[in-house]
A and B are shown apart, each in its own frame.
Chain A
Amino acid sequence: MLKIENLHASVAGKKILKGINLSIGAGEVHAIMGPNGSGKSTLSNVIAGRDGYEVTAGSVTYQGNDLLAMAPEERAWAGVFLAFQYPVEIPGVNNTYMLKAGVNAKRKHQGEQELDAIDFMQLVKEKAKLVELDQSFLSRGVNEGFSGGEKKRNEIFQMAVLEPTLALLDETDSGLDIDALRVVAHGVNALRSPERSIIMVTHYQRLLDYIEPDFVHVLVDGEILKTGDKSLALELESRGYDWVKAEAAA
């Protein structure tokens, strides 16, 4: 499904990713944990196609296609979705309008009929319930004046509407209180399916209490130093990252 091989990437001439290897099968949920600055967002951004990241070596293959050769919107059409760590505010661009344009661009690309306004509104209202997003948010500017928690909810709401086959959740749990975390986690769990792979980037173990991953990877200084199951996350929680580094150096 997604295959990352020996991925090296730099930002502003600085080497950030130093040989990432990762294989993700359909329907799997992978957690990527790591200290601040280890390259988690860089990895997410490179997969989603953000400008400013130079891939100096390696490959990313998705559903047999070279993902790195595709424009960001082409990746979206192919089913890639990034829930941003820091979603940007876009005043004047209506949240629902943006999603309708996105959904229909994707449908068009896949040879499906575009949704009309009525069908689309129905879809959107149904999905908003999933993350308990108040209807009033639908008609507001994208993230305009949203609180931190509302922005994160809006990201998962968008994921629900766009129905990706590969979702990258970049610290979707950060900045959420426990109630909001439960709501967001519930939304993500409801979106788990055999056709949908999920990469959860997180700094905190507590998210994994709510969304159980199939695999946990530890990313330190641009490299995946260790891979395990859910218990690895618990171990990181109690012991920190240093032992992983020491073990890898040994």
Chain B
Amino acid sequence: MSDVALNDIRLDIAGLPGNAGVQALRQQAADVFARTGLPGKRAEDWKYTDLSRLSAVLGESWWVTAAQTEPADVHVIDDLDAYRLVFVAGQFQAEQSNLPTGVQMLPLADFLANDTAERGHCLFHVDESAPLFNGLMAANTALASDGLCACIGDDVQLDKPLYIIHNGSSTAHVLNGLMLGRNAKVTLIEHFVGAGSDAALSNIATYLRLGENAELRHYRLQLESDKQFHIGRVEVKQARDSRYILHAVELGAQLSRADIVVDLAEPGASCALHGLFVASGRQHIDHHTRIDHNAPHCRSRENYRTVLDGRSHAVFNGKIVVAEGAIKTDSAQSNGNLLLSKNAGVDTKPELEIYNDDVKCAHGVTVGQLDEDQLFYLKSRGLSTEEARQLLTFAFADEILTAMDIPAVRRFIEHKAFAKLPNMTDLEGLLG
């Protein structure tokens, strides 16, 4: 056996959950991965994010998962009234979880254990033509150990948020699928957290389908340990008049990349993506968003704010594609970047591809430091330099924080985000 064969992802599939149909799809995904490999720096969408670090740090077989016996001692949002699904190292923990009753919702592994469909579950179909497709998605499909598998029926409104905690410090591939029926309404909170002292990879894919007039509020909170690599994919497909609202928060990991892909497939669908990055040290955070306006009268909003300290680096790429028939498209994108240190940097780019004339598309980017005039104004009122800087930094993120409609989540993020910045001392007073 050559080294190449030893490093073949296909060898790791046996033993993963799924019937013959699913196993076959896993193998297909592995074939795709064997062909595409990791995205390289020459790929346009990976120009600023260097994944060679992944294999350099984790080794040639960077995808290999490891069982984790002890869940790390981590902070989660305690004062949140929610249904909880806890995963440790990519495995569902039944005794720490409470699922809603009366809806179709299972951990993926449990679902697969009883899956009789011969063709293999649709979550395992790899679509190479999907926007921002890359080899990590194929690896995710091939190697997914567990996740959420849920279909929320027509007219069902979950009375409490679904709070998924991914506690992991070892490598895991997690695959989530959530479908909302007609008029269904759900809040989904994905919280990634870990406390590992060794580097590992979290490879998380979340596929979301919104039925007619459905509403999904999605919090995606990335607070991994500062050693972790985090690769995320969120793919949303929206039917007529459905509403998707994302609050994406990036605080953790040494390298974090998320691709957010939204298909406004039918008339009247709308999405709003709110992003907040707070990075320091040598953190690297990258979001590529892609919104396809494929039908008339759809609306998209994007507002991303990044606060960068130390030698951290952020990438924001917001691509919006308006199809020929998508008249009366209403789209706006804004990306603000606050550099607290002169060694921090950002690469940001709006990309518009518009194939009809009847559209409203606005976009704006700012990159700057704290405003000297504002600082002086506050100091002249008696605020210390430190306090003035903190307040202005906080104010910069204010729009994103106030958009969060669950107070417990917002408070948690406020504290986590600003406590991690050096010089953020008297937080209590600041958040008063």
Residues of A whose CB lies within 8 Å of any CB of B are 48-51, 71-73, 75-77, 81-82, 84, 87-88, 90-93, 97-99, 101-103, 105-106, 141-142, 158, 162
Q: For the complex, give the distance between the alpha carbons of A92 and B397 in Å.
A: 8
Whether A101 contacts B382 by the Cβ 8 Å rule is yes
Whether B381 contacts A93 by the Cβ 8 Å rule is no
Smallest distance from the beta carbon of B410 to chain A beta carbons, Å? 15
Whether B377 contacts A87 by the Cβ 8 Å rule is yes
Chain B residues with a Cβ closer than 8 Å to the other chain, count: 25
Whether B395 contacts A162 by the Cβ 8 Å rule is no
**Cβ of B388: which chain A residues have Cβ within 8 Å of it?**
73
The verdict on A76 contacting B382 (CB below 8 Å), with A92-B396, A97-B432 known, is yes
Stretch of B139-147, B158-166, B367-375 on the interface side: B367-375
Smallest distance from the beta carbon of B143 to chain A beta carbons, Å? 43
Q: Contact partner of A101 among B371, B383, B394, CB < 8 A?
A: B383
**Cβ of A76: which chain B residues have Cβ within 8 Å of it?**
379-382
**Cβ of B372: which chain A residues have Cβ within 8 Å of it?**
51
13 contacts between A and B (CB under 8 A): A49-B379, A49-B380, A51-B376, A73-B379, A73-B383, A73-B388, A87-B377, A88-B374, A90-B374, A91-B395, A91-B398, A105-B387, A162-B381
Whether B395 contacts A90 by the Cβ 8 Å rule is yes
Q: For the complex, give the distance between the alpha carbons of A75 and B382 in Å.
A: 8
Whether A93 contacts B382 by the Cβ 8 Å rule is no
B391 within 8 A of A: yes
Smallest distance from the beta carbon of B309 to chain A beta carbons, Å? 18
Whether A92 contacts B399 by the Cβ 8 Å rule is yes
**Cβ of A97: which chain B residues have Cβ within 8 Å of it?**
432
Smallest distance from the beta carbon of A190 to chain B beta carbons, Å? 20
Q: Contact partner of A98 among B371, B373, B376, B383, CB < 8 A?
A: B383
Q: Contact partner of A102 among B382, B394, B398, CB < 8 A?
A: B382
The verdict on A88 contacting B371 (CB below 8 Å), with A101-B429, A105-B384 known, is yes
Which chain A residue lies CB-closest to B386? A73
**Cβ of A82: which chain B residues have Cβ within 8 Å of it?**
380
Q: For the complex, give the distance between the alpha carbons of A82 and B377 in Å.
A: 9
Smallest distance from the beta carbon of B390 to chain A beta carbons, Å? 10
B378 within 8 A of A: yes
Which chain B residue lies CB-closest to A168? B380
Best-buried of B377, B382, B398 by chain A (most CB within 10 Å): B382
Q: Contact partner of A73 among B373, B374, B382, B399, CB < 8 A?
A: B382
